[in-house]
A and B are shown apart, each in its own frame.
Chain A
Amino acid sequence: MTGNRKEAIILLGHGSRIPGAGEGMEQVARRMRERFPVEIIEICYMSRIGPHFPEVFESCVSQGATKVVVMPYFLHSGLHMLEDIPELLLEKARKYPDVEIILGKNLGFDECLVDLVIKRLNESRDLRDVREMKPQVGKSRESGEKASTKKILSAAFIFLSAWLLPDQAHAMHISEGILPLNWAALWFALAIPFVAYGLHSLNKRSREDLSFKPLVGLMAAVVFIISCMPIPVPIAGTCSHPCGTAISGILVGPAISVVITAVALLIQAIFLAHGGLSTLGADIVSMGIMGSFVGYFTFKALRAARMNMAVAGFMAGLLADWATYLTTSVELASGIKGEAAFLPLFWKIVIAFIPTQLPLGILEGAITAGMVILLYKKRPDLLVKMRVIRPGDVKIPKQGLTALLFLLLIMGATMAAPVQAAKWSGVDEAVIEKVAKEHGRETKEPLINMEQGDLPLFLFLIAGTVGGFAAGYYWKTLLVQRKGRVTEEKK
């Protein structure tokens, strides 16, 4: 007690993920309790393993403390000292205006520290050579765990396997919970061998080059950002966006690209609820496997056919994107069809994807081509390192015009297709349908029949498309914090 205020002291250390690492500071606190005339002396840590400051502070206040002195057990005035700890204290100061909160000095420099270092030095001189030391930190984590934990783990795995394995083995962002268990398990079963092979390739290449894993992590971050701009698609029950898997497939190969996509998808599922844990298998199959392999093989095939880099990159991005969405349509239709027939639902989903995926595919093709060309011009050494080109292939071709022409050709063909179809419909009826009928194959009902009661579906599609675009456009209003609020918080 000081005056009429009840005082508490909190020793605040950095802490560590290693249990028991804070033993030294805890001993200091125990000795202080014996020697210092303050009733409440507590400790807490900044790191993930607690106790943490907020809960320890609350505990002091609940014990009646009206003055809290926080002593940072830090040698240096680093970021924790300058920013994090004052922020923590200010937060509590706002909540408890009646409690006096003092941020003490850190350990910093003192003559007694010189004595301490000299003492430690004297104690250390006779220690063994570092090569003879038993490794402490590098010890396998499981060595510290009990055998019972392993048994529980095995039981859990057997239990999970029993759930996952009996289903037959078949398979982008399909939301959590959309797929029933059997379909979710099926796509996981298909995805796992690809991910395993990708990890095997990753480990092999990272043994040769230590910088490879950080590079793959970077590619995962790029795929994450590219595939993080969702435009909700009506009817399909999913979201539409560029995938970025073609460029990763081209740069690091399809097998490792599957791992990259799996990582990006898992982070999105965990933090953004974009995709899901139960639908991760299906998402890996559509985005990771289909996107990466189609992108990679398209690029390789076109390069082998002596197509220039821009066209090969464009086609790889375009086809990878479209292949992803076709697979997603298959996954969705099979997952939500219930007792209904698969094909009509599949076509409805494909049609629903078209308004967003047709332009997005072209945009993804352009982005992929742009990235490949930029890397080729600015950093050909990276493409050589990634085994995309051979060292002798490094020369800058004039390919902008060809790429543009190719792009225009694809866009023109896509736009002209419906017009041509309308012009030749008479031929279809007069020749093809007639011949088909003679052979006993009658024409089936059209998918959207404007005259036979399917008008609501068509209107729903249009309304949904407009709604999807509007929702996609205004999505940012949820993501971007309002300026007024930020200013208020800063005050």
Chain B
Amino acid sequence: MTFTDYINNKDHWLSRVDGRVKLLVTLIVLIMVLSYKGLTFQFLVTILCLFQCWRMKIPLRVFLLRFSEPVFIVLVILLLKIFFSGGESFFSTEVMGIKIAASKEGLAEGLSIASRIIAAISIMSLMVFSTPYTELLGALSWLRVPRGFIEILMYAYRYIFVLIEDAGVIYDAQKNRLGYTTMNRRFSSLGILVGSLILKAFEQSQNISIAMVQRGYDGHMPLLRQKPLTTSELLISFLFVTMMGLLWQI
């Protein structure tokens, strides 16, 4: 499992921009992308975000991994819309007696959805590649996302790695004892793995709770304390959003 926050390139100017500003701008541009009916704006957003990702020196493997699923979905939607929408066709052929026709309207609709997906993924990727997780949580808290929700986000993020590590140890032990050689053994080993994992995790959560209470935990986790936003950051982000708004109007 590749988490993308460790990729965070601290040398890039965008990494130094406050997380709250980045999150707010991302949300606004995302709304623009979702509501735009056409291709120009989506194309511009995609190019802009991908260029910045390239400048951030994001490793190609991480980039491909992040985009593999959406690109697959884009291809499926394009095929679905082009060949199964009906209407006026711009291309038709016959393969082994089966008539295949590509629809004009389908192509337009498919491209519209595909560009929307790629633009939305690009803007999200840029924000994630430039913002560490703790900063993102601070930004969510600033946007008045309830504290309980953010605390669970913090715990979950911590436990994911603990659980993955535990699961890896159990899986290796099972595999070394031929636990995954036949279908029956696979099911049995998987059941034991999941069960042991949940029991182990329950015990860990109890131990961690005790350790936290001993260190003064009162039911609330401390969150990132943030500096006041600077006028220049606000001004530049306002200008950027205004510029994007103007492009959106085109």
Q: Contact string, B68-80, partner A, CB cutoff 8 A, digits 1/0?
A: 1110110011011
Pick 27 A–B contacts, CB within 8 A, sort by A.
A17-B225, A48-B224, A144-B225, A144-B227, A146-B228, A152-B234, A176-B70, A178-B113, A179-B34, A211-B209, A213-B151, A218-B205, A222-B201, A232-B73, A234-B76, A237-B76, A239-B69, A262-B149, A264-B156, A267-B157, A272-B4, A273-B124, A276-B120, A339-B109, A371-B198, A460-B83, A478-B68
- A14 smallest CB distance to B (angstroms): 15
Pick the residue among A19, A228, A456 that contacts B83 (CB under 8 A): A456
**Whole-angstrom CA separation of A195 from B64 in the bound complex:** 33
**Whole-angstrom CA separation of A98 from B173 in the bound complex:** 46
A422 CB within 8 Å of chain B: no
The reply to whether A211 and B205 contact each other, CB–CB distance below 8 Å, is yes
A87 CB within 8 Å of chain B: no
Most buried by B among A217, A238, A459, A464: A217
Which residues of chain A are within 8 angstroms of B223 by Cβ–Cβ distance?
A: 141
The reply to whether B121 and A276 contact each other, CB–CB distance below 8 Å, is yes
The reply to whether B149 and A270 contact each other, CB–CB distance below 8 Å, is no
Q: Give A225's nearest chain B residue, CB to CB.
A: B163
The reply to whether A52 and B10 contact each other, CB–CB distance below 8 Å, is yes
The reply to whether B69 and A230 contact each other, CB–CB distance below 8 Å, is yes
The reply to whether A176 and B117 contact each other, CB–CB distance below 8 Å, is yes
Across the A-B interface, the 10 shortest Cβ-Cβ residue pairs: A217-B155, A177-B120, A211-B209, A221-B159, A220-B156, A177-B117, A374-B195, A181-B34, A181-B35, A176-B120
Most buried by A among B27, B149, B210: B149
B54 CB within 8 Å of chain A: no
**Whole-angstrom CA separation of A184 from B158 in the bound complex:** 29
The reply to whether A48 and B135 contact each other, CB–CB distance below 8 Å, is yes
Q: Give A202's nearest chain B residue, CB to CB.
A: B148
The reply to whether A213 and B117 contact each other, CB–CB distance below 8 Å, is no
Task: Please choose the segment from A3-11, A106-114, A375-383, A437-445 that sits at the chain B interface, where 4 or more of its residues have CB less than 8 A away.
Answer: A375-383
A25 CB within 8 Å of chain B: no
A186 CB within 8 Å of chain B: no
**Whole-angstrom CA separation of A211 from B16 in the bound complex:** 36
Pick the residue among B31, B84, B117, B217 that contacts A210 (CB under 8 A): B217
Complex interface residues of chain B between 43 and 92 (CB less than 8 A to chain A): 61, 64-70, 72-73, 76-77, 79-81, 83-86
The reply to whether A177 and B156 contact each other, CB–CB distance below 8 Å, is no
Q: Contact string, A27-54, partner B, CB cutoff 8 A, digits 1/0?
A: 0000000000000000000001010101
Interface of B is mostly: helix
The reply to whether A153 and B143 contact each other, CB–CB distance below 8 Å, is yes
Which residues of chain A are within 8 angstroms of B236 by Cβ–Cβ distance?
A: none
Q: Contact string, A446-483, partner B, CB cutoff 8 A, digits 1/0?
A: 00000001011101100010000001000000110000
Which residues of chain A are within 8 angstroms of B226 by Cβ–Cβ distance?
A: 141, 144-145
Number of residues in B with C-beta < 8 Å to the partner? 107
Which residues of chain B are within 8 angstroms of A163 by Cβ–Cβ distance?
A: 31, 35
Which residues of chain A are within 8 angstroms of B33 by Cβ–Cβ distance?
A: 177
Which residues of chain B are within 8 angstroms of A478 by Cβ–Cβ distance?
A: 61, 64-65, 68
**Whole-angstrom CA separation of A112 from B101 in the bound complex:** 86
Q: Give A377's nearest chain B residue, CB to CB.
A: B195
Q: Taking A17-B224, A177-B70, A379-B202 as given, write out 9 further A-B residue pairs in contact, using a Cβ cutoff of 8 Å, ordered by the A residue number.
A: A52-B10, A55-B10, A141-B141, A141-B223, A216-B152, A218-B204, A270-B133, A348-B84, A460-B79
The reply to whether B199 and A378 contact each other, CB–CB distance below 8 Å, is yes
The reply to whether B219 and A207 contact each other, CB–CB distance below 8 Å, is yes
- B169 smallest CB distance to A (angstroms): 14
Pick the residue among B30, B99, B152 that contacts A278 (CB under 8 A): B30
A338 CB within 8 Å of chain B: yes
A75 CB within 8 Å of chain B: no
Most buried by B among A176, A339, A370: A176
**Whole-angstrom CA separation of A144 from B1 in the bound complex:** 38
The reply to whether B109 and A215 contact each other, CB–CB distance below 8 Å, is no
The reply to whether A177 and B79 contact each other, CB–CB distance below 8 Å, is no
A399 CB within 8 Å of chain B: no
Complex interface residues of chain A between 345 and 372 (CB less than 8 A to chain B): 348, 366-367, 370-371
Interface of A is mostly: helix
Q: Give B197's nearest chain A residue, CB to CB.
A: A222
Q: Contact string, B14-33, partner A, CB cutoff 8 A, digits 1/0?
A: 00100000001011101101
Which residues of chain B are within 8 angstroms of A221 by Cβ–Cβ distance?
A: 155-156, 158-160, 162-163, 201
The reply to whether B198 and A222 contact each other, CB–CB distance below 8 Å, is yes
The reply to whether A370 and B194 contact each other, CB–CB distance below 8 Å, is yes
Which residues of chain B are within 8 angstroms of A211 by Cβ–Cβ distance?
A: 205-206, 209-210
Which residues of chain A are within 8 angstroms of B174 by Cβ–Cβ distance?
A: none
Which residues of chain B are within 8 angstroms of A58 by Cβ–Cβ distance?
A: 11
The reply to whether B125 and A177 contact each other, CB–CB distance below 8 Å, is no
Q: Give B222's nearest chain A residue, CB to CB.
A: A137
**Whole-angstrom CA separation of A234 from B76 in the bound complex:** 6
The reply to whether B1 and A217 contact each other, CB–CB distance below 8 Å, is no
Given contacts A195-B149, A278-B34, A374-B195, contact A213 B121 (CB under 8 A): no
The reply to whether A218 and B69 contact each other, CB–CB distance below 8 Å, is no
- A123 smallest CB distance to B (angstroms): 25
- B82 smallest CB distance to A (angstroms): 11
Pick the residue among A55, A203, A214 that contacts B212 (CB under 8 A): A214
The reply to whether A273 and B198 contact each other, CB–CB distance below 8 Å, is no
Complex interface residues of chain A between 267 and 303 (CB less than 8 A to chain B): 267, 269-274, 276-278
A340 CB within 8 Å of chain B: yes
A168 CB within 8 Å of chain B: no
The reply to whether B125 and A218 contact each other, CB–CB distance below 8 Å, is no
Which residues of chain B are within 8 angstroms of A259 by Cβ–Cβ distance?
A: 148-149, 152
Q: Give B224's nearest chain A residue, CB to CB.
A: A17
Given contacts A225-B164, A455-B98, contact A178 B73 (CB under 8 A): yes
The reply to whether A224 and B156 contact each other, CB–CB distance below 8 Å, is yes
A156 CB within 8 Å of chain B: yes
- B250 smallest CB distance to A (angstroms): 18
A122 CB within 8 Å of chain B: no
Q: Give A138's nearest chain B residue, CB to CB.
A: B222
Pick the residue among B80, B121, B212 that contacts A176 (CB under 8 A): B121
The reply to whether A175 and B117 contact each other, CB–CB distance below 8 Å, is yes
Given contacts A153-B144, A181-B31, A263-B152, contact A18 B113 (CB under 8 A): no
B2 CB within 8 Å of chain A: yes
**Whole-angstrom CA separation of A370 from B197 in the bound complex:** 12
A260 CB within 8 Å of chain B: yes
A235 CB within 8 Å of chain B: yes
B107 CB within 8 Å of chain A: no
Which residues of chain A are within 8 angstroms of B1 by Cβ–Cβ distance?
A: 228, 272, 479
The reply to whether B99 and A340 contact each other, CB–CB distance below 8 Å, is no
Given contacts A177-B120, A215-B205, A379-B199, contact A263 B224 (CB under 8 A): no
Given contacts A141-B141, A181-B31, A210-B219, contact A220 B159 (CB under 8 A): yes
